[in-house]
Structure 1
């Protein structure tokens, strides 16, 4: 008794595997069908690899942006309701005592014009003390020239690498900071112009920070933006108008304020649960702006783009899968005589259907496997490949001015890879069903008569 007529104790018999493998091998008279099968396999491989690479790059892009943004800007930014925030030093330990709060940083910030060697550009000037810099490892480790040692005692500034290039300055050079909110005179408000040496050049890898921010010691920024008031010491009389500077310094106490507080949490996604405890711990009315609201439009656009790209690139796999149908239909037409002979030898319709299902699924499996390997290799070397292609063709791919980051990040998600592979395999199997069903419906008598 032949294998075809033996009882089937397994889902797929050795006989069915043998016939399916024979149909997959190329023969001279079946060259056209084999070419279509090879193109189908290649198309599935390209589709799977492209999906894995694009999704990995978009995941890396989002994760890198999130790390950079939240590495410098807090998960909450707290602003006072009144104009001056003078009690910030007493508020900081209260907020840091809340469970789930990692660090609280005070900052003084304002807009200004920075001038270097014959060049000028708008910047955001932010004051921060050395103790708080150590609470931000991303920023503390970003110095490429100079360093943040003795930062509070220095009278200089830290600027980003791209800003330094734009202004034509480096460590040791001077930068002039100009703000229109200067000294009030009888003729109006005179702009405030101060020159500071460049002590640190940092590079965070994000264009927005590397080309726009100027950092300086907190007290220096408070003095520059006039975030202070002079209060007469208790028990002293007001001084006459002709008092000397020494008398003023002895009689008045300078009280500084800040623009706001950056609050860092242990879990960035816990902002909804942390808002009320932070408000209560602060003990004063404050406006809390969270990172999701500040960047809602940006990250929503990234999510929409991610979904759209997945749908569009899935079409590559879908088109390749349709080629499985066409190649199997032609194979079934070519093998109608063989099918009739197998049926007369005792092969059941289910056996014939399984043979052609295995043939189509094998093409999809091989294409998916090759695409998986290629996708993982390409995604893990995305930046190296981008740099090589850019150098070879002389064109900058993914310019940082457009994509915010100076390198092309990639982060492969195992669940997404598993979904892509499963998606391709399921489509390949589904595409094999109709041709296999058609093959199983052949009448052996008619096939042998007209074959």
Structure 2
């Protein structure tokens, strides 16, 4: 029968034993609760931030493709042959041409600078989910030479137009005349209104047919770029490398990470800062373990002296108090993991319950695009948080344990 080391048995016994000083027990309990609350908060906050990041990324990529391919002069002359070449490539599940230009939309005295995107409706559904975002009208209403336009909801509101209204598009590509350069002006009919849930698109994007865009912006038969959609958005690096050997004449390939790099870097920085700030809670609780263990060592000096006189080594004494501190820390870690996982996995139930209980709404739908609190639990974050908490707990036990190992038996037993 295998016997447990006496250091482990004594460490567990000291943890369970009732202390003569109730203040020590209180600090131990507060340390455990502090670690548990810190881990719970850290897991919950990171899960919510992961949920927001995924929600916003999905909304952005619902209106744009994963990759765009164009030439150096921002004009792609023969997009049809390029379309045929990329169709058979691994991980590419859709492709569509587009024209991206800047213009001004006017309705009476109302003027708004916007991004104009020329699309082919029958191809666009391969790379973006625009059709499902349209609240009024249909994407198929964009027909060649019909000069119809689909606006974002906020853009339509700011211009004061609705379905069937006429609107004027002013293109910067002007026509040279005897009086100078005259901007190109074309009347369009509002055929649809979409709401993507992103201010950038809802207030500053308009869709027209690609042939209408070619006419207004003088593209002839060219397009701006060929958009690509992948079966896995995180494989853009590999696909970009594979395309380099297939597309000889194309010199510029951009992916969604480059197009929205500042946005996603800001979110990552916020996550790191939140991790650092909330880790401080765990560090404070770990310092409480230091003070707890120092008082325990002082309280147990006579026991330490007796153990030393019957043959216990300084390393054994050190291990006893390390085990005792680790038990306090591990209990806090386990409680924190249970609390954090429970909150992160049930945030969609807990938040509505709190809202109904308090009679408030954290994210009113008329103010925020996201009316519910999203949460995405990433297990690597959980393991990382648990590991950092365990290491902080271990470091907190080293000083008190070393102090216990240095107790002089003769001095400790002199007045016993």
Partner Cα distance (1:424, 1:173) in 2: 61
Match of 1:156 in 2: 148
Match of 1:423 in 2: 388
Structure 1-normalised TM-score? 0.75
* Structure 1 range deviating more: 353-362 or 321-330: 353-362
Partner Cα distance (1:385, 1:127) in 2: 44
* Structure 1 range deviating more: 267-276 or 52-61: 52-61
Instruction: Name segments (4+ residues, structure 1) moved above 6 Å.
Output: 342-348, 383-389, 391-397, 404-407
Conserved 8 A contact 1:160-1:202: yes
Secondary structure at 2:247 match in 1: helix
1:343/1:81 CA distance change after superposition, 3 Å: closer
* Structure 1 range deviating more: 178-187 or 429-438: 178-187
Of residues 217, 242, 249, the one that matches 1:274 is 242
User: What do the CA deviations read for 1:151-176 (whole angstroms, capped 9, x no partner)?
Assistant: 43765322233334444444455544
What's the offset of the Cα at 1:370?
Answer: 2.5
Match of 2:192 in 1: 200
The 5 Å alignment of 1:121-132 reads: 121-132=112-123
User: What do the CA deviations read for 1:26-63 (whole angstroms, capped 9, x no partner)?
Assistant: x6x62322332233223222332333234334444444
Match of 1:44 in 2: 35
Partner Cα distance (2:296, 2:412) in 1: 15
Match of 1:248 in 2: none
- Indicate whether 1:110 and 2:107 are aligned: no
1:381/1:190 CA distance change after superposition, 3 Å: farther
1:74/1:440 CA distance change after superposition, 3 Å: same
Conserved 8 A contact 2:39-2:282: yes
The 5 Å alignment of 1:432-451 reads: 432-450=397-415
What's the offset of the Cα at 1:71?
Answer: 4.2
Secondary structure at 1:16 match in 2: helix
Question: What RMSD in Å do the two structures reach over aligned CA positions?
Answer: 3.9
Partner Cα distance (2:345, 2:158) in 1: 33
Partner Cα distance (1:365, 1:173) in 2: 66
Of residues 202, 210, 224, the one that matches 2:216 is 224
User: What do the CA deviations read for 1:259-297 (whole angstroms, capped 9, x no partner)?
Assistant: 2221334432314412423423xxx45543344444445
Match of 1:21 in 2: 15
What's the offset of the Cα at 1:12?
Answer: 5.6
Secondary structure at 1:411 match in 2: coil
Match of 1:209 in 2: 201
Conserved 8 A contact 2:64-2:128: no
The runs of 5 or more residues in structure 1 that have no matched partner are 1-6, 229-255
User: What do the CA deviations read for 1:49-90 (whole angstroms, capped 9, x no partner)?
Assistant: 333234334444444444444444334423345686443233
Query: Which protein has the larger Cα radius of gyration, Structure 1 or Structure 2?
Result: 1
The runs of 5 or more residues in structure 2 that have no matched partner are none
* Structure 1 range deviating more: 366-375 or 189-198: 189-198
Partner Cα distance (2:218, 2:374) in 1: 41
User: What do the CA deviations read for 1:197-236 (whole angstroms, capped 9, x no partner)?
Assistant: 43333233333222221112222322332333xxxxxxxx
Partner Cα distance (1:305, 1:91) in 2: 40
Structure 2-normalised TM-score? 0.80
User: What do the CA deviations read for 1:224-264 (whole angstroms, capped 9, x no partner)?
Assistant: 32333xxxxxxxxxxxxxxxxxxxxxxxxxxx332222133
